[in-house]
Structure 1
Amino acid sequence: MKFSLLLCVAFILCICKVSGQQFNKSINKDSLFKTILKDIPEEKKKELLNAYNSGSEGTKEFLLVMYSLPKSSKKELIENIKANYDKITLLKTAYAKLVPPNYTVSIEFNPENIITSTKESIDLKITLLKGTEAIVNQEWNLDFNSDKLKEMLASIGWNKETVKNIKKLLAEAHCISIENGKVATIGFARSGLGKYSYLLFNSSLTADKAKQYNDGCSYIFYGKNIVLEYAGGAFGPQCFPD
């Protein structure tokens, strides 16, 4: 197994341990692996098969988790903005109205994951701008009924109903996250350790700005006030892989 893969295994296992994620012991590893293998390109099957068969139980669990991660593409990103442009712009406008002045709020809804035995949760980041100072309150994988989530929501005048409304708006736009600001960032989908998003500006980009946001890596200028974004994770592609 390549050294980079070993580092990746160690890194992901550490993340899972810190975040309390554990592989679901009720899942038959070999059966799940056979299912995953069906969708792997022929030229990569042998390498993956060797890595799985020669790996420790921890390595096998890592490979199963990694190859079961959600997958998306630039094609799907574009198809969604074409099909749901009105709902995405409505999401941007409605969300901005919910956020108090001087605050930037980022929220993402994480689906339940049977493989890692994790429940549906919320990632929430609240930033208060006081002059030149930014006061940040951020938590990951918050339980919907946790006191911490309730406390954070109360700090910006939100409650469970607010969260339900945001979740509904995101679902209608076929998106998973949103952050307000001069440029709204709307997350479309996770893909492996990366993420596809839309950047929505308040007005059409100038020619210079469009060039800046069309760098052939993280950004693709889509048109008018819309930029497509791909953010890579700790490992894997750091630019648009497609």
Structure 2
Amino acid sequence: MKKIALIITLLYSAQNIKAQNIKFRENIDKDSLFNTIVQKLPVEMHEDFTKTYKNGNEQEKEFLLFMISMPESSKKELIENFEHKKSEIQRLKNEYQKLVPKNYIVDIEFKPESKIFTITEEISVKIYKLKDKTEKENTDDVQRTDGLKVISQNWNLKPNSNELEKVIKSIGWTNETLDEIKKLLNEANCISIQNGKVTTIGFARSGMGKYSYKIFDKPLNEKEKIEYNNNCEYIFYKDNIVLEYGGGAIGSQCFEKK
């Protein structure tokens, strides 16, 4: 089972690398990098990963390195960051709400430049608008059941690019707006934010998943506590705070048990 999961992950990584034309930076010693990173994995995984790496061709080695070089985080780090950055996280929520136009929901994530791969800084922006009940449905619109209309969904845009400028201009934002949001995120030690009835603030990527905070305007009632405490993607933390783990295409879909 482990080998099947490993093969699937390698294939996914291969497609990802090929699609984005990702390469290792010239100063990277791949063997040294592998020996360093593999030590961070659980001990029981060392033998399989080392054997797979040593027996692989150059391309297979790069796929494996890409996979185990992905960022890591945990529920413990998610909680610690909230306790250390409580006021900054609340300020991020409040200030971001002021920047988003009325009746719009904007989800933005800043991805830093990689020190290992030739991946520059990227910004993903998804823009939605509350549906007007009197507005006729357009067959070309992306259909959603949450009362939101998709305005645009854009992944991995380059900073200061014409494409990014066109996207943010549609909601009256400028590069200065992005700088302000990025500053607020950095101060909160977070990477993403989406406004709405519940504000979702992304703390960190981990593998293909992401750890986040869901911040309600008021403390959760008993019904909400049950709904947002399923010990999988949601854990009720306290008051108006819910911890969230969003699993990726491959890997765990729930919070770790320990």
TM-score of Structure 1 vs Structure 2, range by shorter chain:
over 0.9
Structure 2: how far apart are the matches of 1:172 and 1:207?
Answer: 32
Correspondence 1:150 to 2:165: yes
Matches within 5 A, 1:134-173: 134-173=149-188
Q: How many residues of Structure 1 are paired with residues of Structure 2 in the alignment?
A: 242
Please list the CA deviations of residues 26-75 of structure 1 after superposition, one character each: whole Å capped at 9, or x if unmatched: 42211211111332333221111111111222221121112111111111
Does 205-214 or 20-29 show the bigger shift?
20-29
Structure 1: how far apart are the matches of 2:43 and 2:7?
Answer: 23
Q: Which amino acid aligns with 1:125?
A: K
> Does structure 1 conserve the Cα–Cα contact (< 8 Å) formed by 2:9 and 2:67?
no
Correspondence 1:228 to 2:243: yes
In structure 1, the gaps of 5 or more residues are none
> Does structure 1 conserve the Cα–Cα contact (< 8 Å) formed by 2:110 and 2:192?
yes
Displacement of 1:131 after TM fit? Answer: 1.7
> Does structure 2 conserve the Cα–Cα contact (< 8 Å) formed by 1:198 and 1:226?
yes
Displacement of 1:3 after TM fit? Answer: 2.5
The residue that corresponds to 1:116 in the other structure is 117
> Does structure 1 conserve the Cα–Cα contact (< 8 Å) formed by 2:38 and 2:68?
no
Does 101-110 or 41-50 show the bigger shift?
41-50
Q: Flag as ranges the 4+ runs of structure 1 deviating above 4 A.
A: none
The residue that corresponds to 1:211 in the other structure is 226
Structure 2: how far apart are the matches of 1:33 and 1:74?
Answer: 25
The residue that corresponds to 2:140 in the other structure is none
The residue that corresponds to 1:27 in the other structure is 28
Structure 2: how far apart are the matches of 1:51 and 1:131?
Answer: 55
**Identity rate of aligned residues, in percent?**
50
Does 115-124 or 22-31 show the bigger shift?
22-31
Q: Which amino acid aligns with 2:132?
A: G
Q: Which amino acid aligns with 1:207?
A: E
Structure 1: how far apart are the matches of 2:79 and 2:56?
Answer: 38
Q: Which amino acid aligns with 1:51?
A: T
Over aligned residues, Cα RMSD in angstroms?
Answer: 1.5
Structure 1: how far apart are the matches of 2:96 and 2:68?
Answer: 33
Does 110-119 or 204-213 show the bigger shift?
110-119
> Does structure 1 conserve the Cα–Cα contact (< 8 Å) formed by 2:198 and 2:217?
yes
Displacement of 1:187 after TM fit? Answer: 0.2
Please list the CA deviations of residues 173-220 of structure 1 after superposition, one character each: whole Å capped at 9, or x if unmatched: 110000000010000011111110000011111111101100010000
Matches within 5 A, 1:165-204: 165-204=180-219
Please list the CA deviations of residues 79-132 of structure 1 after superposition, one character each: whole Å capped at 9, or x if unmatched: 111111111111101001100012110110101113220101111111123325
> Does structure 2 conserve the Cα–Cα contact (< 8 Å) formed by 1:65 and 1:115?
no
Displacement of 1:151 after TM fit? Answer: 0.5
* SS of residue matched to 1:2: helix
Structure 2: how far apart are the matches of 1:40 and 1:219?
Answer: 25
> Does structure 2 conserve the Cα–Cα contact (< 8 Å) formed by 1:91 and 1:170?
yes
In structure 2, the gaps of 5 or more residues are 138-148
* SS of residue matched to 2:150: strand
